[in-house]
Structure 1
Amino acid sequence: MSGTGEQVLDPEDAKIVTLARSSRGRTGAAEGAAVRDTDGRTYTAASVALPSLALTALQAAVAAAVSSGATALEAAAVVTAADALDAASLAAVADLAPGAPVFRADARGAVVETVVAEPA
């Protein structure tokens, strides 16, 4: 399920979009992402492109959450120039939160699509 066009978010969802945008801008990466766990904690990351390791920003943010003890997520956000979120990124969210909203935002931080993380 998805919706397109610029969307208005509640303050907690807007916060993770802002954090994702900040991660992208701080590192100059192709993508920035943020996730919120069920305790309200947030985790951010940027895409990783090393010779021995490649992660999308969303995969890296989910990994940061899991490595900090999160067992479930409420929502996720990705700031990217891509026209769609890749399946591997959505699968990482669905591992912890099937049905969670994933907000795709442009470089300005405007949400252009909300996708539901579905199990593979």
Structure 2
Amino acid sequence: MAEVERGAELDPEDAKIVTLARSARARTGAAEGAAVRDTDGRTYVAATVALPSLRLSALQAAVAAAVSSGAPGLEAAAVVTEADKVDPDSLAAVHDLTASAPVFRAGPDGTVREAVR
């Protein structure tokens, strides 16, 4: 079971990935936007993919972008969603790379609702 921290203060780098995730969602009109930061400090941004032949959550798509670019691991991830929790498969994708990486769940207004580790 994931440990959940409520009311977490974000450092500037974490706030940046929340902003990027929010931008991805707004730009595409998708259900979710996500961003991840790898251990080299690079960021990867994605939105929900909902094609007849391919379905990925925004977080899964961002992790896939990081992995396909050779990211050695993740420092943190953020997802902007209206959902009341991070999708378990999306959380697992992040933790497949780095088990301790926090995943910030924010609402459409960018307010972080929780950090799941």
Note whether the superposition's TM-score is higher than 0.5.
yes
Asked if residue 2 in structure 1 is aligned to residue 4 in structure 2, the reply is yes
Q: TM-score, normalised by structure 2?
A: 0.96
- 1: distance between equivalents of 2:36 and 2:109? 18
Q: TM-score, normalised by structure 1?
A: 0.93
Deviation at 1:63, TM superposition (A): 0.2
Partner residue, 1:36: 37
- 2: distance between equivalents of 1:88 and 1:65? 16
Partner residue, 2:15: 14
- 2: distance between equivalents of 1:60 and 1:69? 14
Segments ≥4 residues shifted beyond 4 Å: none
Partner residue, 2:61: 60
Deviation at 1:94, TM superposition (A): 0.6
- Secondary structure of the corresponding residue to residue 13 of structure 2: helix
- Secondary structure of the corresponding residue to residue 107 of structure 1: coil
Matches within 5 A, 1:99-114: 99-114=100-115
- 2: distance between equivalents of 1:85 and 1:66? 20
Match of 2:27, as an amino acid? R
Partner residue, 2:78: 77
- 1: distance between equivalents of 2:56 and 2:63? 10
Match of 2:63, as an amino acid? V
Structure 1: gaps (5+ residues): none
Match of 2:105, as an amino acid? R
Q: Give the total of aligned pairs.
A: 115
- 2: distance between equivalents of 1:3 and 1:112? 9
Deviation at 1:99, TM superposition (A): 1.2
Deviation at 1:71, TM superposition (A): 1.8
- Secondary structure of the corresponding residue to residue 85 of structure 1: coil
Percent of aligned positions with the same letter in both sequences? 74
Structure 2: gaps (5+ residues): none
